Every structure is written in C-alpha cells, then in structure tokens.
Amino acid sequence: MLSVLLLSFVSTANAQEKKYEVYSVGFYNLENLFDTIHDYGKNDYEFLPDGTNKWGTLKYTNKLKNMATVLNEMGTDMLPVGMAAVGVSEIENSRVLEDLVNHEILAPRGWDFVHIEGPDKRGVDCALLYNPKLFKPISSKLAPYTTEDNDTTYKTRGFLIVSGDMGGDMVHIIVNHWPSRYAKSPARERAGVLVRQLKDSIMKEMPDSKVLIMGDMNDDPDDKSMKTCLGAMRDKDDIKEAADLYNPWWNILRKKGAGTLKYKGKWNLFDQIVLSGNLVGDDRSTLKLYKTEIFSRSYMFQQEGRYKGNTKRTHAGGVWLNGYSDHLPVIVYLLKEVK
C-alpha cells in the first residue's frame, strides 16, 4: 500500500487514466523554539526561567504542543499521511527537535530530523523534519554565510543542504533563514548570491536532480535578493532550463494579496519555497509541482483586539499569548506518475 495519496486524472486525448503519487514539502518558522537551558556561548538569556520572557517549563511545553499541532496538521487537507519534509527555522538545538518529534501529538507520524549546529550568536538554527517513509536523506551539510570581504566577525545562520530520495528522484533541499530586516538589503542580497552558487554547483554535478530552496528569506519574492541575486522567476513560461528557478509565491503575493506574516496591517510573503526548473512542467514521469498552499487554521490568528487578524505569536508586547508563530507555514505539493 502506498504511503502517499494517489490521484487519478483522465486524459481526454486517449481516455487513459493516469495515477500519481503526491508528496508535500513545507517550511515553517517556529518563532523562537528555545528550551529552558542555557547553551554555552549563545545569547539565549531571554529564553531562560529568570530571563526577560520568564521562559520556564510551562511556556516551553505549551510551545512544543502548539508547534506539534500545526506540524501534525500541515498537508492533511489533501494528504492524511501529512508532510514528507518540513524545513524549520528559529530552533535552538537538537534537544528541542527531539522533544518536538517525540511529542505525543507528533510522535505517531514517526518523523526524524536533520540538524547541524550553526554559528548564529543568538543560537537559532535551521533544520529539516522528515517522514522516513517518504523522504530518505543520504547526505547533509551546512554551507556557511560569508561576507564579500570575508569578515569573520559577522556570524549568522548558514544554509542547510539535505540531499535524499523522494519518490525515486534525487532531491536537494536547501533550508534558509536569511539576515533579518534589522540588517540592510545587501546582507540578504549576499545570501541570494551564495544560495544561487550552491544551486549551480549541485546542478552542475548532478543535472537530473531536483532542488528546493526554502526558508524565511526576510524579503518578498520581488525584492532584489530573490528576483535578481537568487534569480527566482515569476512565471512558469520564463523557465527554459532545469537549473532555472521558479518562485510560485510571487503571484500569490502580488496578484492574490496573500502572505505569511503581517506588519502594520500589510501582508508580506517572506516564507517561500523556490523550485528548480525541472520541477516545473507537464512531464510527470519525475516529480513536478502540482499546487501550493499557505497553511492556516483559525487558531493561528488573533481573534480579537487591536491585532485581530494578525498571526498569534508566542509573545507580543511583553505578554505571553501562548500562541504559535508570527509566520504562517508554506507547502508545495509534488506529483509523480505511477507506472
């Protein structure tokens, strides 16, 4: 029995029914998933029991429950089996990931994770959660963020690359969390250049492999870092080669007005999944993009007050809201024909 949903389509040209496996791949910024223990050398003091946020056991266990709830429900409107893989950001360490995948809500999924400790001064990293039945990692590495002048004092999150098998295709997932808006645009433009180089290197070595670039980019799809430096294109018709990059979220933001986080009443779409050109098209003998989704549930939003309609955060204005994240998750669904 297949562990993913089978979709059937009838071709009017030859009246033949074709069946497809569907895989869901997502990204979610977990907004400060810290445990209650100090990590040596990291500026995690606000997330300690005696820190600014009074981050004790009650808050931590509730945060785990809330994150597990969202992750468990992601993709299930279409696939009861849930997600094949989910990139995450703003996690402190492997301990919080162990606690997360083993939480009673998420444990029945049987998920595992890939995490490599990075140099970020605050201690937040990226990781990849995955269902071993649907995605089988083969290798992983953390590529560093480097400045143009090789300033070794500038330490921020690197780029997590996890390569593995999904539906018989070699898939490379690059999980990102680019410099925040406190940094100027060139910091994120540099990230776009570096990730594009990583993608080019992968595609040069393995031209038939698929690349998914996901993360909290801290920029919208039409900002310079994404459209020029990374080179992620707005329209499918612009995709000419396997190594080209398609950004389906561009039109979702600019045509539909939908986003993943709201600032001063305006939606941004910082959370994106960009696909290599060979994931786009009608030849579904290999994995191809089927549809996209900004995942949401009513409980993930403020229901009243001044910020009604905004995402419900863990903290806001120094007050613990017992919320979820300031970001919404994003999902792409990939199809592959079953022979």
Tell me: pLDDT of 11 over 50.
yes
Confidence class of residue 307 from pLDDT cuts 50, 70 and 90? confident
pLDDT of residue 1: 35
Considering only CA atoms, which of 255, 260, 258, 188 is closest in space to residue 225?
188
SS3 99: helix
CATH numbers and ranges of domains, the chain:
18-337 (3.60.10.10)
Per-residue pLDDT tens digits for 222-260: 999 999 999 999 999 999 999 999 999 999 999 999 999
Token look-up 């049987």 returns: 110
pLDDT of residue 47: 97
Tell me: pLDDT of 30 over 50.
yes
Q: Where are the beta strands (DSSP E) in the chain?
A: 6-11, 16-33, 85-91, 112-115, 125-130, 136-143, 159-166, 169-177, 210-216, 232-233, 245-246, 261-263, 266-268, 271-276, 288-294, 315-316, 319-320, 330-337
> What pTM did the predictor assign?
0.96
CA angle (151 as vertex; 147, 152 as ends), nearest 5? 115
Per-residue pLDDT tens digits for 265-278: 899 999 999 999 99
- The pLDDT > 70 percentage for the chain reads 96
